[in-house]
Amino acid sequence: MAAKKQGKKIYHLNIGQPDLPTPQAYYDAIRSYDARTLEYEASPGMPVLIDAVRKYYKELDVDLSQDDVFITTGGSEALLFTCLSIMDPYTEVIIPEPYYPNYTTFVHAAGGVIRALPTNPWEGYRYAKRERIESLITKNTRAIMITNPGNPTGVVLDQQEMRMIADIAKKHDLFLICDEVYREFCYDDKFGVPTMARFDDIADNLVIVDSVSKRFSACGARVGCVITKNKDLQAALLKFCQSRLAVATIDQLGAAALYDVDHKFFRDCKAEYQRRRDTVVSCLRKIPGVVVEEPMGAFYVMASLPVDDSDRFQRWLLEEFDDNGDTVMFAPGAPFYETPGKGVNEVRIAYVLSQENLERAMEILARGIARYQREVLVKE
């Protein structure tokens, strides 16, 4: 990268890679593995890990059988296998935008079409409006896909909103794909630890995508899962699991140990992320022209900046700007949208730096915006 070659220090707010320590239990489980031969495990996943997932969900008042859980190579494979299993060419999936950009890859790989459910920063990116959702349903609609808590917006659905979306899926006989990998990180006690899996009446519609990556600060483990009680979908998922043989044995063993981590780990992580969220939002609100709502979950904030194009602004920050040798990276907003032209001046900020580094990064961003406005926008 040119900025690094110039000797600049870059504060990375662009990637959702937690910096908090992975629990020691993961490493201990791997070090204790002493089998003579490192063999394939069962295609749907190791029983010890599946049982650990089931125990975790039991604590959320959700009963699962072993057949309901399919271990995958990260949440990404879980999403890909789900899309490949339920979609046919030109079938449609409704997704609130902005959304995690890889959803586009997974849906298109399955031949599907995304019907974007529009939101905007002035409404805090909230999308749980029945009339808006149902207006997008056509004869080709196969599924609704949501992230709760949201990436990139940090939006969290309350119980009434979750129930309403579940009712829509049930009424129109649609799959409801819920990416819940940030479930533990909700910053208002009213949300509890949310999951659509508590709604027993949509068992045949519901697909839960989960992962150890964010919950346990273990992105490199590459262990996720698909959870569904739909027997036809289970049969399709099993074929895809068999086609890639197995998830890595060592990582599954480490992941199983993570599910025994004391709940204090989650409380501490949530408290730290909440402090960081408060810092980011406070700093953004001090910048004239920024539009931002306080995110209630995950560890991202989506904001509208007073610039012409966030991608152009990002390149300028890296190539032409520094503050005492420092600059900053964020994720430009446009790739989080399906609709052309949307998100052009928006950004996603991942608050995954230490408090000290985060404060410095936000200081750099504020100074960068002011200088960009003076030296680039005014001259044009």
Q: What is the CATH number of the domain that holds 350?
A: 3.90.1150.10
* Residue 159 belongs to domain with CATH number: 3.40.640.10
The per-residue pLDDT for 4 is 74
Do 135 and 64 share a structural domain? yes
pLDDT at 45 over 90: yes
Domain end residue (candidates: 213, 231, 258): 258
Do 313 and 352 share a structural domain? yes
Task: Quick: pLDDT tens for 123-143.
Answer: 999 999 999 999 999 999 999
pLDDT at 275 over 80: yes
* Exposure letters 153-176 (e unless 16+ CB within 10 A, then b): bbbbbeeebbbebbebbbeeebbb
Q: Identify the band that residue 377 occupies on the pLDDT scale cut at 50, 70 and 90.
A: confident
Partners of 332 in the β-ladder: 347
Do 278 and 215 share a structural domain? no
Beta strand pairing call for 141-147 and 92-96: parallel
Q: Pick from 66, 87, 111, 46: which is nearest to 233 by CA?
A: 87
Cβ proximity of 284 and 301 under 8 Å: yes
The per-residue pLDDT for 1 is 62
- In the structure encoding, which two tokens stand for residue 169, read together? 């899926």
Partners of 145 in the β-ladder: 177
Cβ proximity of 49 and 189 under 8 Å: no
Instruction: Give the range among 71-80, 144-153, 183-192 with minimum mean pLDDT.
Output: 183-192
Cβ proximity of 215 and 181 under 8 Å: yes
The per-residue pLDDT for 380 is 65
Do 85 and 66 share a structural domain? yes
Do 181 and 39 share a structural domain? yes
- Distance (Å, whole) CA 333 – CA 346: 5
- In the structure encoding, which two tokens stand for residue 195, read together? 């999951």
Do 292 and 166 share a structural domain? no
Whose tokens are 């010890």? That residue is 48
Stretch 33-42: mean pLDDT, rounded? Answer: 94
Q: Pick from 364, 314, 320, 360: which is nearest to 335 by CA?
A: 314
Domain span at residue 13 reads 2-20+264-377
The per-residue pLDDT for 189 is 87
Cβ proximity of 147 and 98 under 8 Å: no
Do 301 and 229 share a structural domain? no
Do 169 and 101 share a structural domain? yes
Do 249 and 101 share a structural domain? yes
Opening angle at CA 169, ends 163 and 173, nearest 5: 145
The per-residue pLDDT for 8 is 87
Task: Quick: pLDDT tens for 97-126.
Answer: 999 999 999 999 999 999 999 999 999 999
Q: Pick from 306, 337, 349: which is nearest to 127 by CA?
A: 337
Q: Identify the band that residue 162 occupies on the pLDDT scale cut at 50, 70 and 90.
A: very high
Stretch 278-287: mean pLDDT, rounded? Answer: 97
Do 275 and 237 share a structural domain? no
The per-residue pLDDT for 371 is 96
Cβ proximity of 152 and 187 under 8 Å: no
Q: What is the 3-state secondary structure (H, E, C) of 291-348?
A: EECCCCECCEEEEECCCCCHHHHHHHHHHCCCECCEEEECEECHHHCCCCCCCCCEEE
Do 223 and 89 share a structural domain? yes
The Cβ of residue 117 has, within 10 Å, a number of other Cβ atoms equal to 21
* List of long-range contacts for 365-369, beta carbons under 8 Å, 24+ apart: 365/13, 365/283, 365/287, 365/328, 365/330, 366/283, 366/286, 366/287, 367/323, 368/313, 368/317, 368/321, 368/323, 368/327, 368/328, 369/287, 369/305, 369/306, 369/307, 369/313
Stretch 284-302: mean pLDDT, rounded? Answer: 96
Q: What is the mean pLDDT of the chain?
A: 96
- Count of domains for the chain: 2
Cβ proximity of 224 and 76 under 8 Å: yes
Task: Quick: pLDDT tens for 2-25.
Answer: 677 778 899 999 999 999 999 999
